[in-house]
């Protein structure tokens, strides 16, 4: 039989452990905490022609290093080193979503060694929208993507979108990243750019001008020669008196294959007959 004194000692020990539990957990957390190493499933660059069969030792990402560092720092700003703490993971998830770079974050979890692993679905930059002297990197759906402070997009690295009808999405605190640009004109311009830049001659296209879109529904392509090619209605649309998409595309390829004269300021390829305006002033 267990003596009464022993029972009392066992009960006292149990109470002491229960009372010391949270304190002990914090002590263990401080002792086991390691510097946080945030790791992402970085989006991978498509292999160059001929590399499909070659297994690269280290898959490369198209995401610039400065953006990678910005995203890792964004997550670390919310995370704590305590391996038992879970609330900061959700805060980090939301902060990452607020950068606009993700359509979703599938998981964010702790692993041994101070690793925090983020698995996400990424948005891909499509163009740079110019508005009131500022430039905004946007994805295919017109969603604005946050960039590191004082880090502009390299000139000529992305097609430009000029003269959007609306301001970028925002609230009282500033730009709302991850939200699509309002009005639909930015999305129409990006959709056209994706179709024409993919052509062999498409490297001569530098962007799209939206200044006519809200008035006439017309999109205007910009070229490296400084000429403007009035394309007409958006992809999958056909306005009165316009030739088909394929006909416009054939005309565009023919024009871009030639050496454009600087006097050819504006060329309209959507009417039944191509119109060349040599009197239009260069902006």
DSSP per-residue letters across 197-218 = HTSTTGGGEEEEE-TTHHHH--
Among 30-44, 74-88, 134-148, the least confident range: 30-44
Residue that is written with structure tokens 């898959």 in the block: 59
Q: In this structure, what DSSP letter does residue 202 have?
A: G
The closest of 129, 135, 143 to 177, measured between CA atoms, is 143
pTM of the model: 0.82
Give the count of beta carbons closer than 10 Å to the beta carbon of residue 162.
Answer: 17
Domains and CATH numbers, the chain: 37-122 (3.10.20), 125-277 (3.40.50.11690)
Give the count of beta carbons closer than 10 Å to the beta carbon of residue 76.
Answer: 18
Cβ neighbours of residue 187 closer than 8 Å, sequence gap 6 or more: 141, 142, 180, 181
CA distances from 47 to 54, 58, 61 (A): 9, 12, 10
Q: What is the CA radius of gyration of the chain?
A: 28
Q: In this structure, what DSSP letter does residue 106 have?
A: E
pLDDT in tens, 215-261: 999 999 999 999 999 999 999 999 999 999 999 999 999 999 988 76
Q: How confident is the model at residue 97 (pLDDT cuts 50, 70, 90)?
A: very high
Give the count of beta carbons closer than 10 Å to the beta carbon of residue 89.
Answer: 18
Question: Mean pLDDT over residues 93-112, rounded?
Answer: 97
- For the four alpha carbons of 168, 173, 179 and 183, in that order, the dihedral sign comes to negative
The C-alpha angle 7, 11, 15, rounded to 5 degrees, equals 170
């Amino acid at each position: 039989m267990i003596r009464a004194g022993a029972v009392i000692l066992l009960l006292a020990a149990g109470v002491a452990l229960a009372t010391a539990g949270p304190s002990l957990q914090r002590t263990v957390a401080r002792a086991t905490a390691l510097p946080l190493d945030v790791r992402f499933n970085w989006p991978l660059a498509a292999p160059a022609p001929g590399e499909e069969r070659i297994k690269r030792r280290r898959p490369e990402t198209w995401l610039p290093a400065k953006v990678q560092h910005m995203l890792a720092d964004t997550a670390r700003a919310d995370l704590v080193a305590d391996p038992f703490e879970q609330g900061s993971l959700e805060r980090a998830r939301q902060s990452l979503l607020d950068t606009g770079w993700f359509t979703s974050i599938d998981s964010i979890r702790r692993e041994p060694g101070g690793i925090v692993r983020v698995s996400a679905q990424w948005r891909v930059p499509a163009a740079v929208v110019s508005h009131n002297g500022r430039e905004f990197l946007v994805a295919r759906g017109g969603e604005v993507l946050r960039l590191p402070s004082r880090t502009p997009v390299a000139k000529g690295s992305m097609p430009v979108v000029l003269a959007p009808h609306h301001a970028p999405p925002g609230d009282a605190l500033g730009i709302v990243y991850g939200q699509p640009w309002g009005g639909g004109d930015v999305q129409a311009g990006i959709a056209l750019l994706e179709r024409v830049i993919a052509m062999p001659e498409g490297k001569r296209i530098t962007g799209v001008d939206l200044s006519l879109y809200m008035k006439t529904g017309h999109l205007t392509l910009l070229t490296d020669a400084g000429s403007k090619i009035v394309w007409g209605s958006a992809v999958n649309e056909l306005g009165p008196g316009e030739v088909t998409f394929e006909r416009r595309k054939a005309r565009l390829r023919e024009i871009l294959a030639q050496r454009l004269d600087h006097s050819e300021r504006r060329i309209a390829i959507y009417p039944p007959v191509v119109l060349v305006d040599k009197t239009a002033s260069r902006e």
